[in-house]
Structure 1
């Protein structure tokens, strides 16, 4: 399956259950990139528009580049009221954006799906001089027991599970090869996520590796996750330890 097809039929789950990014991170991004209201941001692999929406709320023009039809449609419906949102059906490696026109490139939860070298060249083409790229992930805190146990469940019932965030914890991405001269700023922001049972299940079902209702692993997967929720919840609620990781620099 092509990476651009991995979230087909999961767009509504993704939009409903995937978390947004901490306001502290959004403010950091604006400050470090030196943005003003006239700036244009390209959100590459924009999915259902979670990060795009947060940037639009700050008054920027945002070009959302998303190849998956289901994901892009949800973003367009969600953000259509904002005239500063521009939606493009295109890939990270061929965005169709004009040369030297972008003040900041953002990539949320998607960089691990890209051809890194082709995307780096595309960023160099579309970015204005000295403009930067921000790569960000909402990542489960791997030191917590509930996240360790949920990873075991995913390993058992999800055939395509390579680890959370596309397996980037197990197979680290070569960030120094992507950023100019190997230099970038790595920042962590706490972003713990509260869930009830439906939200907890939805968060896992929105993943690219999660089984669909037609798969034989679906019901055992749901049962195992429900039991895990019961183990750690209190009065029908629990908090998943989560960290927002940001990589920021020139390319």
Structure 2
């Protein structure tokens, strides 16, 4: 166990774009892990709001390597894939620029790691609406067909990405869900941690009707949702989108 904790190299990937109002908390949560044997790969989509200034100040003060890429990208999954290709660690985690790790997350992850080549370590997350705690969530991988494992609460071995592929950039918000299902089908080892690993802020594409429809379509394709329910909920969500457009 001691060898794992001391020797494992952690790779953290943060995709961001114009995130000056939130990324400071994210970076602070990475620094607070007090982990020297790590790299932080930040994939910025050519921000114009001061995000890069915050990132560079962070890079100058921390004792570990920070790799910064700033260029236009094809969306969040394109940014994630860029980061994965640059990663050199034993475990790869992705934390969005408006989310944050729990203070002891890395220690929990390292201690849980079994050493399996194709391993996905995941835990609980808390969701926040502003500063207000909304939910504390844990979805066991046995129920993956019904509820997804959130990527901010998981670390994955590089062999999973090497052998199972990267994220499908045709998705807008559910590529990580589709990827997790594919990894499960191909024999990945899932290692649960029954403690909070990350806090995520509500909002963004994953909380939108587009994200809901993508997830629903996957569950329909996997046989977890009937055709009637799939069509009804898809229609209802599109009506909701139309209503919001007409009243905003």
Specify if TM > 0.5. no
TM-score (norm 1): 0.35
